[in-house]
Amino acid sequence: MAIATLFAKEGAKVCISGRRQEIIEKAVVELRQSGADAMGVNCDVSEIEQVNGMVEKTIAQFGKLDILVNNAGVYIGHDAVSATEEEWDKVVSIDLKGVWLCSKTVLPHMITQGKGKIINVASIAGLVGFAGSAFYCAAKGAVINLTREMALDYALKNININVIAPGVIDTDMTKPFLEDEQAKKGFLATTPLGKIGKPEDIGWGAVYLASDESDFVTGHTLVIDGGWVAK
């Protein structure tokens, strides 16, 4: 929501999508109350038909699609032995396949209009190992390298494709960990800045990568983690 809110403040027309209709509707109401031109589409990014529908509805509403932010993700924590095939499929389908399907569907429109920005949201778990997070690390690492590859393929089409690697950010996904005082102390001790990141920290990074100021940036991994991977 922070990314959409900051984009709207910068004047963007925003389409929010996700699997939970009630959350989408609430977010759209909040954006519209702030004066934003916003819409919502229910979509499972692991299903190509739903992704096609989301893109078609967005273009029908706004006339074009300049920026894609791939921010859908789930986390299931297991090591490689304890993980089940079903859990692997769920994480990889949403965290990795979803990035590919959304990009695959949007790219032809961006090529036709002669420009575009794609911003993928991965994790520092795609850069370093996190114990007990085998397939989350695998999926996020793949997103980072998929970003690099797509950036090369579409650079001459004037399409910038970059990825953000967040550290520990205060979100619904991290809430169970941050409510555990011992786990929170561990995160704080491992983060050189000594604090937990805010969703807006990632939002401002996305705003930069979507802006004209980043026109000479592509294939880049923007790490926003309070210094975690600098150690």
User: What is the spatial distance between Cα 110 and Cα 156, in angstroms, rounded to a whole number?
Assistant: 12
Tell me the backbone φ, ψ of residue 166, rounded to 5 degrees: -75, 155
Beta bridge pairs of residue 119 = 69, 162
Instruction: Report the catalytic residues.
Output: 136
Q: What is the 3-state secondary structure (H, E, C) of the chain?
A: CHHHHHHHHCCCCEEEEECCHHHHHHHHHHHHHCCCCEEEEECCCCCHHHHHHHHHHHHHHHCCCCEEEECCCCCCCCCCCCCCHHHHHHHHHHHHHHHHHHHHHHHHHHHHHCCEEEEEECCHHHCCCCCCCHHHHHHHHHHHHHHHHHHHHHHHHCEEEEEEEECCECCCCCHHHHCCHHHHHHHHHHCCCCCCECHHHHHHHHHHHHCHHHCCCCCCEEEECCCHHHC
**Looking at the DSSP assignment, which residues form a beta bridge with residue 197?**
169
Angle, helix 98-113 to helix 134-154, in steps of 10 degrees? 10
